[in-house]
Amino acid sequence: MKEKEHVEAIRAHIVRDAEALRGSGKPSNDYTETVLTAILQNQSRELIKSHRQPHFARIFFKEHGRTVNEDAYIGRFGIFERETLQPIVLDWRSPIANLYYNDAFENVSVDVDPKHPLTFDLERKRQFEFRDGSLEAFYDSENGALIDRLLLERLSARSGDKLQDIVETIQAEQNRIIRADARENMVVQGVAGSGKTTIALHRLSYLAYQKRNNAAHTQFLVIAPNRVFLDYIANVLPDLGVEGVAQYTWEDLTHHLLPKKTKFASEAQKRMLFFEESDDAKRAEQQIIIHAARLRGSMAFARLLLRVVEKVAKQIVPDADLVLSPRHQMPKEEIARRFFDDYRYEPYLKRRKRLLDSLARFAQDAIKEEIARFDKRLTKGRYADSLEQSAKIKAAIEERYARYVRTVKNIDIYALYRKVLSSENNVSRVLAELSDDLELNEQTKRYVLARYAEADRTLEWEDSAALLFLTRHFHGFAADTRYAHMIVDEAQDLSAFQIFVLTKLSPNATLSIFGDVSQSISPYKGLTSWDEVTRDVFAERAAYKTLEQSYRSTVEIVTFANRALQRYQTPGIPLAKPVLRHGVEPEILQTDETHEVGALIELISRIQSEGYKQIAVVEKTIAACSALQDRLQKDAAYTLPLLSEKTEHYEGGLHLMPIYMSKGLEFDAVIVLNPSEHSYDARSSLHAKLLYVACTRALHRLYILQKDPLTPLLQAE
């Protein structure tokens, strides 16, 4: 059957099946009926989504060692003959579809049955090109001549205002990460443009498919850098058939889990200290702040806190018997057994509550029994004496009980945390594990001790991991934190301690950690390598994978962006390797203070006239963005929308933004404003990373609008 006719035949089948499913299932209190209805409704949605483009690929293959030729179509969702369950189109997540994504053509192993993997040989792969719902063309590739035309076409396309799925163009190295065993933890170091975010979301879709009959996707959690980013990726999972995934920023998750509302200091002032020009005094202050942040984000600090927790827990229960009367005594050994053994699966303050509840019942029973014993000895008719004595018995036992309860310690985790960091011994011990720079350790110790000696000093976000750690041990996390798998994106901006806390969020969950230490632009809180994560957080039991191929930007843009990193390349972290997609060279345009506003407006107009809609004008700081906004409005009555931390919904189009808000996003064109030698110090690895992040946001066009001498970080060597 010709391919166009086959498409129409599938569409006719979709229409029939969708009609048959319409109204299937019914509201019910029966669990089985509810699950069945959800499955049928999901099938109906998938059929409707498949109508426009039923499939994107076809593979021609045979089982290795056999002569029977087979073929299969692959699409976003599986389509079946309802009566026979014979596949018409295979879901991209199915085992056989792995043949399409694998980079080999011979002896390809497929786990159709996990106990008995099969091996296949491919004759060829066929890719289909649809435009506006119509099949326009198809392309075949054979062993030794694989040209991914769909990939090149997608990479050459204009950007949208939301992240799109990549099921048609998943590459072999991406596919291996997507399909990795759900039972293993994974750390993925990927260069800018390697598709980390899309891989992460497709991995969730793949895992949901593996458990598709038990709504496993409701047990997933995504941690993203900010709310703009969450809005930017909002369409991907629903388009892949996955609904109901919990999605948080670290900040939102922290507020969700802490036992009470907690105020944290804004990072704006700290960013200014690091992002603005620095003299020797500022650089010295930066080093102390970085070292103090490293202390609070380290696994060495986590180990110290665990020792503190264990010590404090032993002090909750007093080393004394509970004596309510000569006949009602509970030995301290029994009380300790209840707290440490009977309630051992509960966090400590819940144990405390359960213990006090049991002791309260013991006291009430004692009161009843002692009153009954007195009444039994009392002469009949002396009712008034009975009431008076009963009240005395009750008051005496309650007083003894209350006196004992006051010795069962309550724990304020906030006060405990400040106490830990107010201890010179504690701070010195952790700093000694982190560094042998005695002078820096001493300066940092004085900084930390002074900061946490003030009970009313506002906490910082670097404190959040420790507070959540203490919350888990003393209060416990909410019941809705039971996840099967967690995705952490832009993880280089978290500390090892933060990632460790996530591993404790849900006991049986596994994690996939995605990030790029070359884009770690928050030195006061982020990672500079993955060593502490793989070694201490996961105890060497996490797979470490790298993605070196950059698909986002052209060869010219990636080559230009790599200039910034070359002198500060992290050991073991390779520079990005661009896909062979060429474009125009990045333009460095000269202007001056007087003409800067006009030059910027003219450049934006030129980019838009070339058909590019998604445009980012990038400044170093939020203060610089605000100043530029004011100048544009004052000098030219020109409005340039600002993307900031307060932005929650990303609408696409033209935006002005600080570099840190651009991370994870991509644009048709990026304009970097005045990366001068004064603003971007060639001696600063942070400034190099900032420029790298800014430049690698661009898909097709990169412009440097320069009014001062260009920083050496972007000059060709």
Express the helix, strand and coil content of the chain in percent, nearest 5 each: 45, 15, 35
Asked whether residue 605 is assigned to any structural domain, the reply reads: yes
**Other residues' Cβ atoms within 10 Å of the Cβ of residue 448:** 24
Task: Report residue 478's pLDDT band, with 50, 70 and 90 as the boundaries.
Answer: confident
Q: What percentage of the chain carries pLDDT values higher than 70?
A: 94
Q: How far apart are CA 248 and CA 226, in angstroms?
A: 8
Q: What is the pLDDT of residue 382?
A: 59
Which residue do the tokens 């599938």 mark? 10
Please give the residue range of the domain that contains residue 350. 318-407
- Whole-Å CA distances, 39 to 236, 242, 484: 20, 12, 20
Q: What is the pLDDT of residue 32?
A: 54
Residue 218 reports pLDDT greater than 70? no
Radius of gyration of the chain (CA): 31
Asked whether residue 310 is assigned to any structural domain, the reply reads: no
152-161, 489-498, 500-509, 708-717: the lowest-pLDDT one:
152-161
415-419, 491-495, 679-683, 687-691: the lowest-pLDDT one:
679-683
CA 320, distance to chain mean position in Å, is 47
Q: Mean pLDDT score of the chain, rounded to an integer?
A: 90
Give yes or no for a contact between 253 and 498, defined as CB atoms under 8 angstroms apart.
Answer: no
Q: What is the pLDDT of residue 33?
A: 57
- Contacts of residue 540, Cβ cutoff 8 Å, sequence gap at least 6: 534
Task: Report residue 144's pLDDT band, with 50, 70 and 90 as the boundaries.
Answer: low
Asked whether residue 261 is assigned to any structural domain, the reply reads: no
Q: What is the pLDDT of residue 532?
A: 95
Q: What is the pLDDT of residue 379?
A: 57
Q: Of the candidates 111, 146, 181, which is a domain's last residue? A: 146
Annotated binding site: 190-197
> Counting beta carbons within 10 angstroms of the beta carbon of residue 419, is it exposed (0 to 12), middle (13 to 18) or buried (19 or more)?
middle
Q: Of the candidates 123, 146, 169, which is a domain's last residue? A: 146
Q: How far apart are CA 248 and CA 256, in angstroms?
A: 9
Asked whether residue 430 is assigned to any structural domain, the reply reads: no
Task: Report residue 384's pLDDT band, with 50, 70 and 90 as the boundaries.
Answer: low
**C-alpha count within 13 angstroms, C-beta hemisphere, residue 518:** 32
Average pLDDT over residues 687-711: 96
Q: Which two tokens stand for residue 50?
A: 């498949």
Q: What is the pLDDT of residue 43?
A: 72
Give yes or no for a contact between 666 and 164, defined as CB atoms under 8 angstroms apart.
Answer: no
Average pLDDT over residues 676-699: 94
Asked whether residue 433 is assigned to any structural domain, the reply reads: no
Q: What is the pLDDT of residue 213?
A: 63
Q: How far apart are CA 150 and CA 169, in angstroms?
A: 6
Residue 372 reports pLDDT greater than 90? no
pLDDT in tens, 291-347: 999 999 999 999 999 999 999 999 999 999 999 999 999 999 999 999 999 999 999
> What SS3 class is residue 317?
coil
Asked whether residue 292 is assigned to any structural domain, the reply reads: no
Give yes or no for a contact between 263 and 458, defined as CB atoms under 8 angstroms apart.
Answer: yes
Average pLDDT over residues 413-427: 97
Q: How far apart are CA 54 and CA 70, in angstroms?
A: 19
Strands (E), 592-697: 615-619, 654-658, 667-673
Answer with the residue of higher pLDDT: 45 or 367: 367
Name the maximum alpha-carbon separation found in the chain: 109
Task: Report residue 283's pLDDT band, with 50, 70 and 90 as the boundaries.
Answer: confident
Task: Report residue 152's pLDDT band, with 50, 70 and 90 as the boundaries.
Answer: confident
Residue 679, domain CATH:
3.40.50.300
Q: Of the candidates 407, 426, 447, which is a domain's last residue? A: 407
Q: What is the pLDDT of residue 660?
A: 94
Which residue do the tokens 């990795």 mark? 180
Q: What is the pLDDT of residue 578?
A: 92
Q: How far apart are CA 134 and CA 674, in angstroms?
A: 46
Average pLDDT over residues 431-447: 95
Annotated binding site for ATP: 190-197
Task: Report residue 39's pLDDT band, with 50, 70 and 90 as the boundaries.
Answer: low
Asked whether residue 470 is assigned to any structural domain, the reply reads: no
Answer with the residue of higher pLDDT: 219 or 431: 431
Residue 598 reports pLDDT greater than 90? yes
Asked whether residue 97 is assigned to any structural domain, the reply reads: yes
Q: Which of 544, 533, 492, 487 is nearest to 512 (CA)?
A: 487
Which residue do the tokens 């935006």 mark? 655
Residue 380 reports pLDDT greater than 70? no
Q: What percentage of the chain carries pLDDT values higher than 90?
A: 67
Residue 156 reports pLDDT greater than 60? yes
CA 621, distance to chain mean position in Å, is 24
Q: How many domains does the chain have?
A: 3
Residue 481 reports pLDDT greater than 80? no
**Other residues' Cβ atoms within 10 Å of the Cβ of residue 574:** 13
pLDDT in tens, 651-684: 899 999 999 999 999 999 999 999 999 999 898 8
Q: What is the pLDDT of residue 479?
A: 65
Q: Which of 593, 616, 613, 630 is nearest to 671 (CA)?
A: 616
Task: Report residue 436's pLDDT band, with 50, 70 and 90 as the boundaries.
Answer: very high
Average pLDDT over residues 173-196: 95
Q: What is the pLDDT of residue 201?
A: 95
Average pLDDT over residues 482-487: 91
Work out whether strand 485-488 and strand 220-224 pair parallel, antiparallel, or are unpaired. parallel
- Contacts of residue 193, Cβ cutoff 8 Å, sequence gap at least 6: 550, 551, 552, 553, 558, 576, 666, 696
Q: What is the pLDDT of residue 273?
A: 85
| DSSP at 75 | E
Q: What is the pLDDT of residue 370?
A: 87
Q: How far apart are CA 24 and CA 33, in angstroms?
A: 11
Q: What is the pLDDT of residue 383?
A: 54
pLDDT in tens, 79-95: 998 888 899 999 999 99
Average pLDDT over residues 56-80: 92
433-447, 469-483, 597-611: the lowest-pLDDT one:
469-483
Give the DSSP H/E element, type plus range, for residue 34: helix 31-50
